[in-house]
Amino acid sequence: MTYLLDTNILIYWTKGVPSVVENIVSRGFKTLAASIISRSELYYGAYRSHHVEKNLQTIKHLSEEIRFLPLNEDIERQYGKLKTSLRREANLIDDFDILIAATAIINGCILVTNNVQHFSRIAELKIENWLT
């Protein structure tokens, strides 16, 4: 099984949150991935921070430890379906989050996030929270 780590989980990992680190260690790096959307969000956070170089090094380290999955046409198509469905239900979430969810679905991953309530609007998405 592959676990797609949401941006918030990547941040908790870099901060050494014990439950996240324990789950990562017990599952092994080969079972982990993240979306390039999450890496983009991390870059945004790094450049907004007071510790730009340190945070850029952290992103580089993460990129060496786990796979960052690119977008492709299947993910883009899934994004379109999900956003349409969420809009019809008046249940929209952020576009980046829809892309992350689409990446998890297309790649058959479990999405690991601390934002379960947010992502639970997407019925076909498998979700775990490693902070509980």
Look up the CATH number of domain 3-128. 3.40.50.1010
| Percent of the chain topping pLDDT 90 | 99
pLDDT tens-digit map of 10-36: 999 999 999 999 999 999 999 999 999
16 Ramachandran zone, left/alpha/beta (phi>0; psi -120 to 50): left
- Collapsed DSSP state (helix, strand, coil) of residue 3: strand
Give tens-digit pLDDT for 77-88: 999 999 999 999
Distance CA 76, CA 97 (A): 13
Residues in Cβ contact with 56 at an 8 Å cutoff, skipping those fewer than 6 apart:
43, 46
Percentage of the chain with pLDDT > 70?
A: 100
Q: Characterise 91 by phi-psi region: left (phi > 0), alpha (psi -120 to 50), beta (else).
A: alpha
Looking up tokens 């921070």 gives 49
Three-state SS string over 44-85 comes to HHHHHCCCHHHHHHHHHHHHHHCEEECCCHHHHHHHHHHHHH
Domain range summary for the chain, segments of one domain joined by +: 3-128
Q: 97 among the known binding-site residues?
A: yes
Taking the model in full, what pTM does it have? 0.96
Q: Is 6 marked as a binding-site residue?
A: yes
**Mean pLDDT value of segment 118-127:** 96
Confidence band for 98, pLDDT divided at 50, 70 and 90: very high
Q: What SS3 class is residue 33?
A: strand
